[in-house]
Amino acid sequence: MGPEVLGRLIDDHAAALVLYARQWCAWPEDIVQEAFIKLSRESRSPANAASWLYRVVRNGALSAARSARRRQHHETAAAERQAPWFAPDESGRLDAGEAAAALEKLPPEQREVIVAHLWGGLTFEQIAELMSCSSSSAHRWYGAGLAALRERLNVPCPNKPKK
Q: Give Rg (Cα) of the chain.
A: 17
Please report, for residues 47, 48, 104, 122, the alpha-carbon distance to residue 142 in angstroms, rounded to integers and kept in the order given: 26, 22, 14, 12
Q: Is the pTM of this model over 0.85?
A: no
Task: Bin 154: left if φ > 0, else alpha if -120 < ψ < 50, else beta.
Answer: left
What pLDDT is recorded for position 86? 55
What pLDDT is recorded for position 78? 56
Distance, CA of 155 to CA of 60 (rounded, Å): 34
What pLDDT is recorded for position 155? 76
- Name 142's Cβ contacts closer than 8 Å, sequence gap at least 6: 110, 113, 114, 117, 124
User: Is 63 in contact with 26 (CB distance < 8 Å)?
Assistant: no
User: Per residue of the chain (163 residues), what is the pLDDT tens digit?
Assistant: 788 989 999 999 999 999 999 999 989 999 999 999 999 999 898 999 999 999 999 999 999 998 888 876 655 665 566 655 555 555 556 677 788 888 989 999 999 999 999 889 999 999 999 999 999 999 999 999 999 998 888 877 666 555 5
Q: Is the dihedral of CA 131, 74, 106, 122 positive or negative?
A: negative
Smallest Cα–Cα separation from 30: which of 53, 57, 65?
57
For 85-163, CATH gives 1.10.10.10
In the chain, % helix, strand, coil (3-state, to 5) comes to: 70, 0, 30
Q: Which residues make up the CATH 1.10.10.10 domain(s) of the chain?
A: 85-163
Distance, CA of 161 to CA of 96 (rounded, Å): 27
What pLDDT is recorded for position 122? 95
Beta strands in the chain (DSSP E): none
Smallest Cα–Cα separation from 125: which of 58, 51, 57, 59?
51
